Chain A
Amino acid sequence: MEHYNMNLTLKVWRQSSKQDSGRFETYPVKNISSEMSFLEMFDVLNEELIRDGKDPIAFDHDCREGICGMCSMVIDGKPHGPWKANTVCQLHMRAYNDGDTIVIEPWRANAFPVLKDLVVDRSSFDRIIQAGGYISVNTGNAVDANALPIEKDKADASFAAAACIGCGACVAACKNSSAMLFLSAKVSHLALLPQGSPERKTRVMNMVAQMDKEGFGGCTNTGACEATCPKEISLSNIARLNQEYLLASLTSE
């Protein structure tokens, strides 16, 4: 693959704290290699800002290999940017050409307040898990792992749902700021396994209640979440969630 350098214009959301109202600021960046990752371009820009005595742009990132779920930027209106099934940290600059202007914002949702610049507070996701996103088994209680065979397709489907990285792009992509794809991935992961069966009903009821309490919006089945998800979590999980919820509502005492 041919490498090239480019000059770009970035329009970045700056907000000093939760209380600040925030604004876009424009930064030119020069000599960006097509081999850089998007976040490495931010590193270059931040080094320049620091040298010029300016405040660098705060953004969340950690593993930089697409699995920790920490990075979170809306790029030209798309959470995680233009590539399909991708996180910002894995987006590389060969996606852009010399002279491009790129607009970068934080996740926008009431349940994800901005802490600084592009950094948001996603602790609401942890609280949804606390409401029931687990199997209640204390350490030491387990039987032999092969005592309970699980059909391969079910195990595979459960894994596909469990691949969610909890980044919140689904919420950022949704016009209603709904967390249904995130929640449905966890409900599916556990409902598809026999181990998850005893708590099936309470789990879905409690998790949905917590989601509503956190201020996430409702789902209108648009599918923007699935289209954006870096791990390609399927919309069919939301169908399963609705089914689980209905079943639990109808049969709970």
Chain B
Amino acid sequence: MLDAKIPSGPLEQKWGNYKGHCKLVNPANKRKIEVIIVGTGLAGASAAASLGELGYKVKAFCFQDSPRRAHSIAAQGGINAAKNYQNDGDSIYRLFYDTIKGGDYRAREGNVHRLAEVSANIIDQCVAQGVPFAREYGGLLSNRSFGGTQVQRTFYAAGQTGQQLLIGAYQALERQVALGNVKMYTRHEMLEIVKIDGKARGIICRNLINGELERHFGHAVLLCSGGYGNVFYLSTNAMGCNTTAIWKSHKAGAYFGNPCFTQIHPTCIPVSGDHQSKLTLMSESLRNDGRIWVPKKQGDNRKPGDIPEDERDYYLERRYPAFGNLVPRDVASRAAKERCDAGYGVGSSKQAVYLDYAVAIERYGKIEAGKQGKENVSAEEIIAMGKDVVKEKYGNLFDMYEKITGENPYEVPMRIYPAVHYTMGGLWVDYELMTTIPGLYCLGEANFSDHGANRLGASALMQGLADGYFVVPYTIGNYLADDIRTASIPTSHPAFEAAENAVKERINTMMSIKGSQTVESLHKRLGKIMWDKCGMARNAEGLKKAIAEIQQLKKEFWSDLKIPGGINEMNPELDKAGRVADFIELGELMCLDALNREESCGGHFREEHQTEEGEALRHDDKFMYVAAWEYKADHEWQLHKEVLEYEEVKPSQRSYK
């Protein structure tokens, strides 16, 4: 049985009770304990800084040239916190409830409540670090609204909130580097976990500059390596984002939780051609003011400006009047796909819908004219003033759109389409964020824990920082307190030797194939299988086909792969090959999980299971559990179930109408 170790007692007292009773490590002992952190995004950098401050000896690793590059940096819209600064009815309970409901009742109550509890501390901590959040004229913090909620609880820094939060965590991390508490290894990639007596005791990593393999010991290992959306080849993830750290750990015994739960974000810039290497998100915050529509007529080829108001279908406002354009991401994405599949899509590919700012520009212009006490203002002046307001709020996003598409979104509506953005699944962790391997923790997007089957906007930053700043510093002590007598294990230990040899052998095998297919071409094929058959809509037949195709692809990978260059040098193709090898195996597990879950929930939409109106239809009687998969052998997994018990919230059919 999987034990999530959720503390007993009333929901709102669980975390307080835990903190009051967990074991502590005294400062003198902390100095002797080494902790390895893999990945330095929001979760990793905040954990590294916090554990360094506590006095642990921390080693942090990232594959980029600096911890400041981690993909958390690209998060645009904001970070949620139950501050209720707007006096609009927010509370810890409300944030907890919205997150559970948004996740379509597939997340753990205890974890989510803790997340809501520490959310306010995160904002305080970031402001103290100098994160320049948006402010009102009175000097106090500003908020905006986001999808799936009816309160304004999102704190932001223009469209660069992730950047500012990461820089805050990065600076705290670099301060610990300067103080000697953290040793930072950049351009290093973890390729294997080292277990001794069943416990995680270190990693094998590759120096990406010279190709050398290195052994590193730690009393505990924290994986903060982010999501695996790049399994789809095209996603909003950075090019380097990968699953390798968590996948190697999975194969070494860590269970993988809900691998098929993928978030497809509704507002991304559409694919422009076969050359496309990645997709770019347009922040959900744009749905605050923008209106989404398609023509009422199928195959309407008129320019958007030539389509009169009464011939436009604002389908989200029509279908979901209560939440309108601010329905959760999974709902908005499926609605866009439905319209495009039915032949109402726009643009040259017809795989796009409009996100229109004309009304917002006019509305803001009028407000601005009112503020300035101007009367008899011309329509042009109003629009000019409105554009200025929109520019201040979303300027960087509009600029980005124009750079990519060559179109001016102040003048013509943006074209958007859903794209893979976030993975709710990840390594299974208990309440303490420990995986099924003792001493191996998993934080942030890399774990499965808080978002159920669908993540609400502005909650990823919250979770990453909650895990790193406020959760793991407590829970890791509860484990390490029993480890204070364990001296550092020399890396000459046979377990390190064996792990390093396994890595060496894998690399040698890949390099010696000398086949004809490039890493990129194989990755593209995997992505197409996943997007077509395990993407926004899934069915049993397609998933079975996908599994067979992926197994075939795996064979081709290991028999016909072509990698240029050598092993002991900087070789980005070799780095990528290792990541794609792991994506292929993960892809198979995702399809297996999607096949097993014969219901629709959140981002997981099984075509066989929908309501008459086409909404996701859950089967709580059969699937109210976390699917935690244990790796057994090639193509072979065993399913373990963590049954979800809802004590506080009564699961119901989600409605945003």
Contacts and interface: CB of A to CB of B under 8 A. Distances in A.
Contacts of B66: 122-123, 125-126, 166
A84 B171 CA distance: 28
B140 A146 contact: yes
Nearest to A59: B572
A55 B564 CA distance: 6
A67 B278 CA distance: 14
A142 B127 contact: yes
Contacts of B128: 135, 137, 141-143, 195
Contact of A51 (B272, B518, B570, B572): B518
A115 B564 CA distance: 18
A36 B273 contact: yes
Interface string B190-209: 00000000000000000001
Given A60-B65, A63-B71, A189 B132 contact: yes
B130 A152 contact: no
Contacts of A126: 66-68, 174, 177, 184, 186
Contacts of B406: 1, 92, 94
A135 B238 contact: no
Interface string B104-116: 0000000000000
Nearest to B563: A50
Interface string A111-134: 000011001011101100111011
B30 to A, nearest CB: 14
Contact of B564 (A56, A60, A139): A56
A175 interface: no
B624 to A, nearest CB: 35
A156 to B, nearest CB: 8
A163 B572 CA distance: 29
Contacts of A68: 64, 69-71, 73-74, 238
Nearest to A65: B280
B622 to A, nearest CB: 40
A150 B277 contact: no
**From B50, B157, B160, B278, residue with most partner A Cβ within 10 Å:** B278
Interface string B40-57: 000000100110010000
A55 to B, nearest CB: 6
B275 A40 contact: yes
Interface in B394-451: 399-400, 403-407
A121 B209 CA distance: 10
Contacts of B570: 17, 58, 115-116, 119
A214 interface: no
Given A43-B520, A50-B573, A159-B164, A133 B238 contact: no
Chain B, interface size category, equals 35 or more
Contact of B240 (A35, A62, A141, A165): A62
Contact of B73 (A36, A67, A91, A134): A67
Contact of A158 (B132, B239, B400): B132
Nearest to A72: B65
A86 B127 contact: no
Contacts of B174: 126, 129-130, 133-134
Contact of B53 (A58, A138, A155): A138
A103 B238 CA distance: 26
B74 A67 contact: yes
Contacts, number: 221
Interface string A192-205: 01011000000000
Nearest to B140: A146
Nearest to A116: B570
**From B123, B135, B157, residue with most partner A Cβ within 10 Å:** B135
Nearest to A85: B399
A57 B53 CA distance: 41
Nearest to B514: A53
A92 B405 CA distance: 9
A159 B403 contact: no
Given A125-B66, A129-B174, A130-B178, A44 B400 contact: no
Contact of A152 (B139, B186, B403, B565): B139
A189 B177 contact: no
Contact of B278 (A33, A64, A155, A193): A64
Given A90-B400, A115-B570, A152-B135, A139 B473 contact: yes
Interface string B138-176: 111100000000000000011010011001001110110
Nearest to B405: A1
Contacts of A86: 403
A44 B275 contact: yes
B93 interface: no
Interface in B259-274: 272-273
B8 interface: no
B364 interface: no
Given A50-B562, A58-B570, A133-B174, A166 B403 contact: no
B125 interface: yes
B522 to A, nearest CB: 12
13 contacts: A1-B405, A35-B273, A54-B564, A65-B280, A65-B400, A67-B73, A134-B174, A142-B125, A143-B128, A149-B140, A158-B130, A189-B130, A195-B128
Given A68-B64, A122-B65, 18 more contacts: A58-B572, A62-B69, A63-B239, A64-B238, A65-B400, A67-B160, A68-B73, A68-B74, A92-B406, A135-B171, A136-B175, A139-B50, A139-B470, A142-B121, A145-B133, A159-B134, A162-B130, A195-B128
Interface of A: 1, 16-17, 33, 35-37, 39-40, 43-44, 47, 49-51, 53-56, 58, 60-70, 83, 85-86, 90-92, 94, 115-116, 119, 121-123, 125-126, 129-131, 133-146, 148-152, 155-156, 158-159, 162-163, 165-166, 189-190, 193, 195-196
The 7 A-B pairs of least Cβ separation, nearest first, read: A149-B139, A134-B171, A142-B128, A142-B124, A159-B132, A130-B178, A1-B406
Interface of B: 46, 49-50, 53, 64-71, 73-74, 83, 85, 121, 123-130, 132-141, 157-158, 160, 163-164, 167, 170-172, 174-175, 177-178, 184, 186, 209, 238-240, 272-273, 275-278, 280-281, 399-400, 403-407, 469-470, 473, 518, 520-521, 562, 564-565, 569-570, 572-573
